[in-house]
Amino acid sequence: MGATLLPSMAFGILPRYVIGSPGADCRGVSGSRIGGHLVCYKTASRRKKPSSKYQIVCKSGSRIFSSMDDSSDTITDLGDGRDVFSSDSSETLGIEEVELIETRKALSNAQARQKAIQKERDQLLEELARSKAKQQEYVATILHDKELAIKELEAAKSLFHQKLQESVEERFSLESKLVLAKQDAVELAVQVEKFAEVAFQQATSHILEDAQLRVSAAETSAAEAAYQIEKQIQEATEGTILSIVEQSKDAIEKALDVAEKAGDHVAKAVSAFTDGLDQVDEIVFVQSENIKLNRVVTDLEYQLLVLRSEVDRLKLELENVHTQIHASEARASNAEKALLEFQESNSKRTLEKEEEIMSLMEKMRKDASERKKVATKSFKAELQSIKAAIKAAKETTHSRDNAYLRRCEALQRSLKTSEDASKMWRQRANLAESLLLKESPIDEVSKDSVHVINGGRIDLLSDDDSKKWKLLSDGPRREIPQWRARRIHTIRPKFPPKKVDVAEALTSKFRTLDLPKPNEVWSIAQEKLKEGDTLIEHVIEKETIEKKRKALERALQRKTIQWQRTPEQTKLEPGTGTGREIVFQAFNWESWRRQWYLDLAPKAADLSQSGITAVWLPPPTQSVAPQGYMPSDLYNLNSAYGSVEELKHCIEEMHSHDLLALGDVVLNHRCAHKQSPNGVWNIFGGKLSWGPEAIVCDDPNFQGRGNPSSGDIFHAAPNIDHSQEFVRKDIKEWLNWLRNNIGYDGWRLDFVRGFSGSFVKEYIEASNPAFAIGEYWDSLGYEHGDLCYNQDAHRQRIVNWINATGGTSSAFDVTTKGILHSALHNQYWRLIDPQGKPTGVMGWWPSRAVTFLENHDTGSTQAHWPFPRDKLAQGYAYILTHPGTPVIFYDHFYDFGIRDIITELIEARRRAGIHCRSTVKIFHANNEGYVAQIGDTLVMKLGHFDWNPSKENNLDGSWQKFVDKGSDYQLWSRQ
């Protein structure tokens, strides 16, 4: 702090100063603020008024009090250094000096107290700063602990949700397994009943006779067995009785001997007793022997009782045998009666079945003949219409050609007229040149003739006042720019040279106009096509007609080839394809994270060159889940994979490379847009605004008011009731919209276990797809954790669904996939069924079996049922060389490094002419390998089995190996 300046005193006694703290108050005294401190002072009363002779001389001055200096507090006199008071007032000055000393002491004490207060204040500030720092640390620690607690809470929450989800999924899987087990049990019972019925229906007369013989033989054998049993029982009884009698005699004899010996001992004992008392021991011995004898007797009696009970038991068994014989005789008689009744009923049923079969055969023959007639008639009519269309197209083409010829003739005529006009203008130019040069005078007669020749225009050239004459004589008014000159020279012939004056123009012999030559005159060949021109319209129309003509010719050729095919090769229903499709699944579970349609469209050319014929695209509909399998608004095709415009572009790219585009449609369930008043999500929005009446009533989660479901329940979304007429109508319109407006060629149907195959048949017949695949996926048969060899029940369920669709749709061969998982691990015997056919749907209905190794559910990031990665090459070698329609997964083709292997196998399938109905002849299937002939021109081997065509006796022809992958697979082709 700075020095404190005290005010100057004019005269009188120096006031007493009291320095207080900044907050102090001066009451009853005068004071002022000095450097932030209050300085209080009292004015001493004058003791007496100074006389005139004691004049006090007061000079102006200032005194400075230092309050913050560490040195001793002093008052600095800022005056001129002379005494304030006169020498005469020495007494007054002494008093004032004493007061000044006291004031200085008070001031030093105040300053000391101020320093102490300042130090205390600094300590308090430091403690406050430390407390604030500790408070901030505490706050940071609390916040950190809070964040950790929140994170732990969130982690626990997420873990709880995960565990909850896992438990829900496990419960769902267990429920689904239970439902599948119940369904399997029911289907097994149905199959057993069917097999029993078939067995009874297929019984013949010789089987019945054999049954009669077996019954009579059974009766004879039963009688013989009864006799033998009775004889054995009698012999055993007699032998037992004899043995018992003999044992009894032996026991009695032994007992008598013992008794005699005992009597002798008793006699001896008595004599010995009489002789002396030392015979007591002998008596004891005799008693013990007697006790042993009693035990032997009791044992013999017990054995006798046991033998008696055994005899009684044998008698009872004999009686039971007699009763069984009587019962068997009764059963035999009943069986004979039942057999007679069965023969009669079976004969009646056989006659009825034969009559029904004959009537059905007759009806089928009639229907076949009628269909053949109708097909022949329709084919002839279609052929006539195609011929008429071709004839009309040819006539139209001929008329167009005639029109082009007439146009060419007209152009030639116009060319000729232009040439004549050019000649006439050339003559006129020569005449005008002669006139300008004044080579010959013009008389009256010639002048009139010139006027007549030039149409009266020559006077314009000969008039002196004419602007044209001036233009010809003087030339243009200013020079023509270069760009304009170039343009003039490109569109007009060259002008005559510019004339300087009239004399030069009259005397120079300038050249005539450079007219184009006849071969340079405009023609059709040199004319470029322009929009809006008549010529380009004719050309486009001609090209369109030519395209239509070629399309009609191709259609006629296809119809002719199709008519010449065998019944097995003919496509009878929509959705079954041509039989030579190779499908490519063009997405995986994570494809939605990218602009998939834009990424996939450029791959169309590559897929087509690799041999792919159809591309399975992801679900196009807006979905609650980004993968597309929880659809909401069916008509909104802006999905996570891209916009509807990008989808159309992708399909157009597929079509431009002759690839079919298969749409993944989800028809079993649909996610609602709104909640009902009960808080249940069962109100649908968008174009198809359905209500709870569109949901099956046995869906446990969404309170549907429709009919019961015709299949399994999908618990994650409302299950649609396909028995409702309005639902089927809307779905058929939507499928046709996808076909006609978007461009899809076929369908992959999701979760078809949820509704009946009859509805699928209706949808396919309404939308007429080129190819259709149904996803009927359920669990295979396992026993103690191992895959069962017999999987007929599993493939029968898939075949039943295909049959429910009327054969209009194919289905994924899940059975073959499951068997390949185990078969390729040195269990190749699983690849042949007891009838010698391939296992899976491929062995029963190959034209409707769509074989695959993996898809977005079994593989990708879901990996629910991944195929063994080290066996992928063998798996594709199997499905690409066998009948059925194979499917190639996107990840395998582009990410797993086996693209060349797949492409080579596709080419081998094409070269061998293998299709979905090719025959399979299996030669070997054991632990070491698998060998089969597919069609007529291909033989393949899997595994390390030592085999080649020369070692096979049942294989005709000469064969050459063209693919050799060692122990994985080998392929041979017929020479």
Residues in CB range of 972: below 8 A, 6 or more apart: 938, 939, 940, 948, 949, 959, 960, 961, 962
User: Is 454 inside any structural domain?
Assistant: no
- Read off the tokens for 613: 């014929």
- Domain count of the fold of the chain: 1
Report the C-alpha gap between 762 and 782 in whole angstroms.
35
**Closest alpha carbon to 794 in 781, 810, 807:** 781
CA geometry: angle 856, 859, 860, nearest 5 deg: 70
User: Is 588 inside any structural domain?
Assistant: yes
Residues marked active site are found at: 750, 775
- Read off the tokens for 139: 């706050």
- Concatenated DSSP letters for 775-808? -------EETTEE-S--HHHHHHHHHHHHHTTT-
Residue 696: what pLDDT?
96
Report the C-alpha gap between 382 and 556 in whole angstroms.
9
Report the C-alpha gap between 779 and 787 in whole angstroms.
11
Report the C-alpha gap between 810 and 775 in whole angstroms.
9
- Greatest pairwise CA separation for the chain in angstroms: 219
User: Is 854 inside any structural domain?
Assistant: yes
Report the C-alpha gap between 57 and 50 in whole angstroms.
12
**Closest alpha carbon to 505 in 496, 516, 492:** 496
CATH number at 743 reads: 3.20.20.80
Q: Phi, psi (5° rounding) for residue 285?
A: -65, -40
Residues of the chain falling short of pLDDT 50? 1-88, 277, 439-466, 493-495, 511-513, 521-525, 527, 558-559, 561-572
Give the other-Cβ count within 10 Å of 549's Cβ. Answer: 17
User: How many CA within 13 A on the CB side of residue 85?
Assistant: 17
Report the C-alpha gap between 86 and 58 in whole angstroms.
8
Residue 968: what pLDDT?
94
| Parent domain of 625 | 583-815+838-895
Residue 99: what pLDDT?
81
Residue 200: what pLDDT?
58
User: Is 387 inside any structural domain?
Assistant: no
Instruction: Look up residue 848 and give its amino acid.
Output: R
**Closest alpha carbon to 106 in 34, 164, 39:** 39
Report the C-alpha gap between 97 and 99 in whole angstroms.
5
User: Is 775 inside any structural domain?
Assistant: yes
Residue 841: what pLDDT?
96
Report the C-alpha gap between 743 and 688 in whole angstroms.
21
Per-residue pLDDT of 634-665, as tens digits, reads: 999 999 999 999 999 999 999 999 999 999 99
Give the other-Cβ count within 10 Å of 200's Cβ. Answer: 12
User: Is 413 inside any structural domain?
Assistant: no
Residue 564: what pLDDT?
43
User: Is 369 inside any structural domain?
Assistant: no
Report the C-alpha gap between 850 and 839 in whole angstroms.
13
Residue with tokens 């079919």, as numbered in its chain: 660
Residue 330: what pLDDT?
80
**What's the start-to-end Cα distance of the chain, in Å?**
118
Residues in CB range of 843: below 8 A, 6 or more apart: 795, 833, 835, 837, 920
Residue 325: what pLDDT?
78
User: Is 495 inside any structural domain?
Assistant: no
In sequence order, the β-bridge partners of residue 773 are 748, 810
Alpha-carbon dihedral of residues 927, 843, 578, 879, nearest 10 degrees?
-20
Give the other-Cβ count within 10 Å of 887's Cβ. Answer: 23
Report the C-alpha gap between 432 and 450 in whole angstroms.
9
Report the C-alpha gap between 865 and 27 in whole angstroms.
99
